[in-house]
Amino acid sequence: MVVSGAEEVSTKSASDYDRMKELKEFDDTKAGVKGLVDSGIVKVPRIFIDPSLKSDEKLVISSDEKRSTVPVIDLNGIHEDAVRRKDVVDQVRHASETWGFFQVVNHGIPTSVLDEMLQGVRRFNEQDVEVRKRFYSRDTNKKVVYNSNFVLYQSAAVNWRDTFHCLMSPNPPSPEEIPQVCRDIMIKYSGQVERLAVTLLALLSEALMLKPSHLVDIGCAESHAIACHYYPACPQPELTLGTSKHADNDFITILLQDLIGGLQVLHQNHWLDVTPLRGALVVNIGCVLQQIISNDRFKSVEHRVVAKNIGPRVSVACFFPTTIQESIKKYGPIKELLSEENPPIYRETTIPEFNSYFFSKGGFDGSSPVLDYFKL
């Protein structure tokens, strides 16, 4: 493989550096970041070096500073106890308005299922590279795709991450299309996380003072995709990121992370760790729910994943909804939330239009530049 190391390219002039050539050489291996690590690489290739780390360095909370923590919400009893449910709705409202992130425990998905889902991701990525290559593609129309960096050729820096992505609803792939090493658990986990999403959307609806079924009724759970991320140990984690800072282009994201950690959220202009909790799931508000339909009531905040010299780190993100290319349904500020004092801030848009603009910006430009485009 011909990909220059960070030390090597530092001696070259800018004119000697053919970024597109190096991107294509990396992509053509179809082995991803895992392939780089397996080859014994000890320097981060130049295409992975992220200049944003320098400017964001001052925003990182140091260990000796007082730090806030992402809210942890216990869902126990919400279906049986009305008083308990009201308290949880209040917690969800506060977290969604101030953080855009929260973790949930006692959510109904057994820890054994969560553990097996993480193991399934490891099994897929740690099988023979020739087997992984059969799934490697950049065809966005495929339901089952494995690649490294879905915006490889658009982003400012390549992320230290490989991803296995599967569209699970409304038209899932046949079981035979899903890799055998993780097939059963992906199908099982998909069904359980979809049920949890309906519960969370009900709580979010009530947090907006709407009937519980409102967000589900308008299509917020009509499709979902699972993205299984694999972050190999990085020899120079200070130079690159596992995932660049971004805000999600959906309604909500439900994330399962292992205990290694690395996820950070931008809160009050500081990067804070989302501390992994065994058995917990991380929930974050996406751009479409935040400002387009809640009319700025909820926050969709930037987040990122730092690279680490230990690992591999594994996470599983479930997006509601994912891209629905043929959808013509329009989403705008919920009419029940509007008044003379609270007029609409954003115009209506379709999911395909929103995603088209989002990915034209590289997919990782943060929430504000993307959402500004849809302001009235």
Q: What is the DSSP string of 337-351?
A: G--SSS---B--EEH
* Domain ranges for the chain: 51-372
pLDDT of residue 339 exceeding 50, the answer is: yes
- The pLDDT-based confidence of 376 (bands split at 50, 70, 90) is confident
CATH of segment(s) 51-372: 2.60.120.330
Q: What is the dihedral of CA 72, 305, 152, 154, to 10 degrees?
A: 80
Q: Which residues neighbour 114 within 8 Å (Cβ) at sequence distance 6 or greater?
A: 189, 256, 279, 281
**Comparing 67 with 359, which gets the higher pLDDT?**
359
Q: What is the dihedral of CA 68, 207, 305, 312, to 10 degrees?
A: 100
Report how far residue 193's alpha carbon sits from residue 196's, in angstroms, rounded to the nearest whole number: 5
The strand pairing partners of 314, in sequence order, are: 230
pLDDT of residue 78 exceeding 90, the answer is: yes
Q: Which residues neighbour 207 within 8 Å (Cβ) at sequence distance 6 or greater?
A: 89, 90, 92, 93, 96
- Calculate what percentage of the chain has a pLDDT beyond 70: 89
Q: Give the tokens for residue 112.
A: 């054994």
pLDDT of residue 212 exceeding 50, the answer is: yes
pLDDT in tens, 222-268: 899 999 999 999 999 999 999 999 888 889 999 999 999 999 999 98
Report how far residue 144's alpha carbon sits from residue 133's, in angstroms, rounded to the nearest whole number: 13
Reported pTM: 0.91
pLDDT in tens, 265-317: 999 889 999 999 999 999 999 987 667 899 999 999 999 999 999 999 999 99
Q: How far is CA 264 from CA 85, 91, 302, 340, in A?
A: 29, 21, 9, 37
pLDDT at 62: 56
Where is average pLDDT lowest: 38-52, 130-144, 295-309, 341-355?
Answer: 341-355
Instruction: Considering only CA atoms, give the Rg of the chain.
Output: 20
